[in-house]
A and B are shown apart, each in its own frame.
Chain A
Amino acid sequence: MPTLYIPTIKQEQAHSEGIWCVAWSKSTNIIATGSLDTSIKLWNGATGELKHSLEGHSLAIVSVDFNVNGTQLASSSIDGTVRIWDTESYQCIQTITPSTGQSWTACFHPDGNTIATGSHNGNINIFNVTSGDLEQALATKQAFLMSVAYSADGKYLAGGAQDGSIYIFNLETNQLAHTLSTHSSAVRSLSFAPDNKTLVTANDDKCIYVYDAEHGQLASALTGHGGWILSVASNPDISKQQAVSSGADNKVKVWDLATRSIIETQEVHTDQIWGVAWHPDGNKFVSVSDDGSIQWYASSGST
């Protein structure tokens, strides 16, 4: 069986402490990594060179996310703030300070005007990027809301909680469309597939659960990881129907969602892997780990 994704560039000691999140911008080919060392670093997506280090947060960074055109980066930290950075001037253009416990991971709405965050008491909060004000708070069942994700068309907003519950909000109707509580351990990461209907979720019970977000049904359960699954990302190339996951077992796995099988397992890191992110063309991805390094992978046959 030929190896489909091979490790290419590695940036060792990219941060002085573990790296906890990663994002790959869609059009400007920049990779952002956030670390326990409180800094965010921007890297050239093609060469792996460091472009800049963003300082300002006082505690560990838990999430980074680019807006659709790559001009802004949102970062959230255990220090309780969400910062918006201009990716060209490297300035922090906005610091959102929600009330205590009212932010966790943060992601941009596809239109770039608002940011959704999780929270410690279950709310999904929506903040205005320009003003920093709280626009909306979507209540859930009060478990630590660990992950949030928008579908690319902005129709759905999903949240995953510590107790295994997954909430899918339909933003066209402004309703909670589905509450999925079939599993009881933490959902740390979720990602919509480019079809805007399929939701891939990571679970601490070592399984990836794939849902039909429209009908609120479980489509498949993928097993294979040996530990908590810390991150999942759907391949943006709609023709491929793939997802990549990373876990506390120090492994990265690429899945074929159509055949529900593992395409590839890579064990390059020496510690647990907190984040994975795809290049927009779906041929490359990166993983970041507690070992402080960033690893690039490319599909064989691509540059």
Chain B
Amino acid sequence: MVESSFSFQPPSQSLSPTSRSLSSIDQSNSTSQQLQSQAATTRSGRQSLLEAIESDILEIFQSLSHLEPIHLHIRTRPRDRAGNNESQESQQVPSLSGQRQEDQPRTRSIGLNSGQNSTILTRYLRVLEIIYEALMANIVMTKRDIFYRDVALFRTQSVVDRIVDDIAYNYNVPRSTLNVSASGKGRMFGPATIILRNRRYLNCLNNTTRHPDTPLSSNAFSGIISNNTPSDGLSNIAQEQDEGHISDEVGTLIPPISQILDVETRARCIIVIEKEASFRHLVSAGFVQSLVQPCLLITGCGYPDLATRYMVKHLTNRHRDVPIVALMDNDPYGLDIYSVYKWGSAAQQHDSINLTSPAIRLLGVLCQDRCAFGIPPSSYTPLTVKEREKALRMLKASQRQPSDIQPAGDMKVFQNNLCRMIMTNYKCEMQALCDQGSQGFVDYLRAKLEPVLFHFP
């Protein structure tokens, strides 16, 4: 019998523009009825969207076949000068700069008449293509995924963000209908089961490999399930892939906290990883299954959103004897992300009791790892001015923390790492560990985990 065994309050109603998961908070207010009607709209929305995209592409082909110049017509949004990218996360919150619209909505016609327009047209078409693929395969991607599909073309993430939002506006659908998610980017992989409030289960050992022409829902468990199949009794219960939580390529997308009833795991260690790329690397290398002691991998894909932080918090509450460690880049941002998990963020200070996991410890990448693991000097790049300023600001802020902050030694480790970074003036990404062959990263992690896994309290 599963009963709700955690006791934290529901997320508070924060409409601060810097809050990164407004849409997940808004979802928590939906009734199940709304959810059902949303699902219906989504299905028909998907179909008509596919048709609309197809007809726009057909128009281009027709121009080509008539040897006429091609055009893509896009209705662009009024340019929001005051907002930053984060305030555009949720479609439900009215534009904060509504009174300050510089332009009226207009239909823009992009052609190949200039070098700049050619690039713009190419970018729009590329994003449309990627979105169309995602819709056909029933896969959810993030804006970051889209960006990484063609970094040379897009050059910056904000270009992709704008185009995605323009496309959503043009076809008059919420961005989620494009199968592009902004929030809810956290993922997990390992011997854990998320039990949802609607009594469905998510098996986090699910690793589906995406084939563009295979609909996802049919191959929910065709991934790598090795000899370490969980035998904790839950495998007997019917496990349906929940429709609203399409499991993307790698790992299980962390659901909004309001939909989670509980999380069971038999992991002996939880590893929180900064970068999605490293998370994928470990999953595809079969790392979890290769260890003697089972581990659970979680990634927030950079700065964690609220759902990821709640998940980590919940796991540490529910499974207090399981050590939890953080694997970040050896740079100020990596340490900052670690501190968000551990001590909280400035934006969510009011909710910190539900969001912080003080038990999390820094596993790597530490400055001292350079000597211990023979990371070559070429893997290090100098800190930029902004990174150095950030590190100094973080140090100042850490000195303002109450001196009895628990656990006591961890703050010193954190400060020492920042000092070392500033002193050497170098940073190093996790990817650097792959420089000596991709096995290097796995070996590093194994060596680092040994004292954690085999420490007898």
Q: 19 more A-B contacts (CB under 8 A) besides A79-B399, A80-B392, A186-B382?
A: A18-B420, A20-B423, A36-B420, A59-B395, A60-B419, A62-B423, A78-B392, A78-B419, A78-B422, A101-B392, A120-B385, A121-B385, A144-B385, A144-B425, A204-B377, A227-B377, A228-B377, A271-B371, A290-B368
Say whether B395 contacts A78, CB under 8 Å: yes
Q: How many A-B residue pairs have CB under 8 A?
A: 49
A162 at the interface (CB under 8 A from B): yes
Say whether B392 contacts A100, CB under 8 Å: yes
Residues of A within 8 A of B419 (CB): 36, 59-60, 78
Contact of B388 among A120, A227, A228, A290 (CB under 8 A): A120
12 pairs, CB–CB < 8 Å, chain A vs chain B: A59-B395, A59-B399, A59-B419, A78-B392, A100-B392, A101-B392, A120-B385, A121-B385, A228-B377, A248-B377, A250-B371, A290-B368
Chain A interface, DSSP helix/strand/loop, else mixed: loop
B85 at the interface (CB under 8 A from A): no
B54 at the interface (CB under 8 A from A): no
Residues of A within 8 A of B392 (CB): 78, 80, 100-101, 120
Report the separation of the CA atoms of residues A18 and B417 in the bound assembly, to the nearest whole angstrom.
Answer: 12
Measured between C-beta atoms, what is the minimum distance from B427 to chain A in Å? 13
Residues of A within 8 A of B370 (CB): 248
B415 at the interface (CB under 8 A from A): yes
Contact of B425 among A79, A162, A250 (CB under 8 A): A162
B389 at the interface (CB under 8 A from A): yes
A17 at the interface (CB under 8 A from B): yes
B117 at the interface (CB under 8 A from A): no
A40 at the interface (CB under 8 A from B): no
B30 at the interface (CB under 8 A from A): no
Say whether B416 contacts A272, CB under 8 Å: no
Measured between C-beta atoms, what is the minimum distance from A156 to chain B in Å? 25
Report the separation of the CA atoms of residues A121 and B389 in the bound assembly, to the nearest whole angstrom.
Answer: 10
Say whether A36 contacts B395, CB under 8 Å: no
Contact of B416 among A17, A79, A100, A146 (CB under 8 A): A17
Q: Which residue of B lies closest to A226 (CB)?
A: B377
Say whether B415 contacts A59, CB under 8 Å: yes
Q: Which A9-26 residues have a C-beta within 8 angstroms of B? A: 17-18, 20
Residues of B within 8 A of A80 (CB): 392
Digitize B350-369: 1 where CB-to-A-CB distance is under 8 Å, 0 elsewhere: 00000000000000000010
Q: Which A69-85 residues have a C-beta within 8 angstroms of B? A: 78-80
Measured between C-beta atoms, what is the minimum distance from A245 to chain B in Å? 16
Report the separation of the CA atoms of residues A79 and B385 in the bound assembly, to the nearest whole angstrom.
Answer: 18
Residues of B within 8 A of A59 (CB): 395, 399, 415, 419
Measured between C-beta atoms, what is the minimum distance from A16 to chain B in Å? 10
Residues of A within 8 A of B377 (CB): 204, 227-228, 248
Measured between C-beta atoms, what is the minimum distance from A164 to chain B in Å? 11
Q: Which residue of B lies closest to A78 (CB)?
A: B419
Report the separation of the CA atoms of residues A297 and B382 in the bound assembly, to the nearest whole angstrom.
Answer: 33
Report the separation of the CA atoms of residues A120 and B386 in the bound assembly, to the nearest whole angstrom.
Answer: 11
Q: Which residue of A lies closest to B391 (CB)?
A: A78
Report the separation of the CA atoms of residues A79 and B398 in the bound assembly, to the nearest whole angstrom.
Answer: 12
Say whether A144 contacts B388, CB under 8 Å: yes
Q: Which residue of B lies closest to A121 (CB)?
A: B385
A29 at the interface (CB under 8 A from B): no
Q: Which residue of A lies closest to B416 (CB)?
A: A36
Nearest first, the 6 A-B pairs at minimum CB distance are: A60-B419, A78-B419, A227-B377, A271-B371, A36-B416, A36-B419
